[in-house]
A = this chain, B = another copy of it.
Amino acid sequence: MSAQAILRNCGIQPTPQRIAVVNFVLNTTSHPSADDVLECVRKECPTISRATVYNTLNLLVEKRLLRTQVLREGTIVFDPNIELHHHFIDEESGKIYDISWDAVQITCGTSLRDFEIREMQVVMKGRRRKGK
């Protein structure tokens, strides 16, 4: 689906700036920060301002097209994968990988009865093995 259609579908007026943000951020698995998005989108749309990028990202989060994740020091990252899933952080490169929900089995014991768990995820750190 085109970025335009996506935006229209959730009642956001498509503008060149918003389309550029959507095209980048909904088609990446790199878990970018807002400033990563700014940097990349400026290649397409050199005049876009920081405030517009922040506003658009926040709009997309509000409309559930994106989720924020607290995984990197000092900044929020954006993730277009809105299904339940886990994350793996490569400690060398800093890259964040999505791990499918089914890759891990979690069982909570009774000692958690005082906690009403509304969401959870496993955060793993280590090194991604080189593909052979």
Give residues in A with beta carbon < 8 Å to B: 68, 70-76, 88, 91, 97, 99-100, 102-109, 111-129, 131
- In Å, the complex CA distance between A102 and B110 comes to 10
Interface of A is mostly: strand
Contact B119 A125 (CB under 8 A): yes
Q: Kindly report how many copies of this chain are found in the complex they form together.
A: 2
Contact A111 B100 (CB under 8 A): yes
Contact A125 B120 (CB under 8 A): yes
Q: A103-B112, A107-B104, A107-B105 are in contact. Are A126 and B131 (CB under 8 A)?
A: no
Taking the nearest CB of chain B, how far is it from the CB of A86, in angstroms?
9
Among B74, B104, B107, contact of A109 (Cβ-Cβ < 8 Å): B104
Taking the nearest CB of chain B, how far is it from the CB of A19, in angstroms?
27
Contact B118 A121 (CB under 8 A): no
- Chain B residues lying within 8 Å of A131, measured Cβ to Cβ, are 114
